[in-house]
């Protein structure tokens, strides 16, 4: 039986000046073989109620986005039992890349939320070539598997233009 990637959020710290949230997460390969973690820094922000998911996996391109061809993700090889730690900062309100995100800005209500982190990975160093007539993101969608952390509770600080939170 194969494993995969285990994602754990190590810490979430928010500051009021500037209004930001720093997240540290760890990714460990529990498979018996190497895996290749998507490591190009593209962020997909999703919110459903108080649950915020930050995805560093490759997602489907947003409807209406046109690209000039497939571009492979940068990947990091993780050998069996190997672990890597990643840090990132969310400055509120958060500007998002529109290639994968519907909204240009993420502006959740300040206050208590839950956070999970998702990462993508493959069991080979890269995806196969596109099949005839396939969308440009088809190869990555076939190649990629997902690892996701359990949610942790954190607070988003008040920021300019925000309304009071819970």
Question: Is pTM beyond 0.95 here?
Answer: no
Domain count, the chain: 1
- Note down pLDDT in tens along the chain; length 166 residues: 457 899 999 999 999 999 999 999 999 999 999 999 999 989 999 999 999 999 999 887 666 655 655 577 899 999 999 999 999 999 999 999 888 888 999 999 999 999 999 999 999 999 888 788 777 777 888 899 999 999 999 999 999 888 765 5
Question: Does 163 fall in a domain?
Answer: no
The CATH number assigned to the domain holding 79 equals: 2.60.40
Domain enclosing residue 104, as ranges: 5-156
Question: Does 48 fall in a domain?
Answer: yes
Residue 129 vs residues 67, 68, 114, 123: alpha-carbon distances, Å = 16, 15, 38, 15
């Amino acid at each position: 039986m194969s494993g995969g990637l285990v994602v754990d959020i190590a810490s979430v710290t928010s500051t009021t000046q500037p209004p930001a949230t720093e997240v540290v997460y760890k990714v460990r390969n529990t498979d018996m073989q190497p895996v290749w973690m998507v490591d190009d820094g593209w962020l997909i922000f999703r919110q459903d109620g108080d649950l915020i998911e930050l995805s560093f996996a490759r997602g489907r391109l947003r409807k209406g986005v046109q690209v000039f061809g497939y571009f492979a993700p940068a990947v990091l090889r993780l050998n069996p039992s190997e672990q890597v730690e990643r840090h990132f900062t969310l400055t509120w309100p958060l500007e998002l890349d529109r290639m994968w995100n519907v909204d240009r800005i993420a502006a959740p209500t300040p206050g208590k939320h839950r956070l999970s982190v998702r990462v993508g990975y493959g069991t080979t160093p890269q995806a196969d070539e596109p099949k005839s007539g396939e969308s440009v993101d088809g190869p990555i969608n076939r190649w990629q598997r997902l690892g996701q952390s359990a949610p942790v509770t954190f607070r988003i600080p008040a920021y300019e233009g925000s309304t009071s939170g819970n």
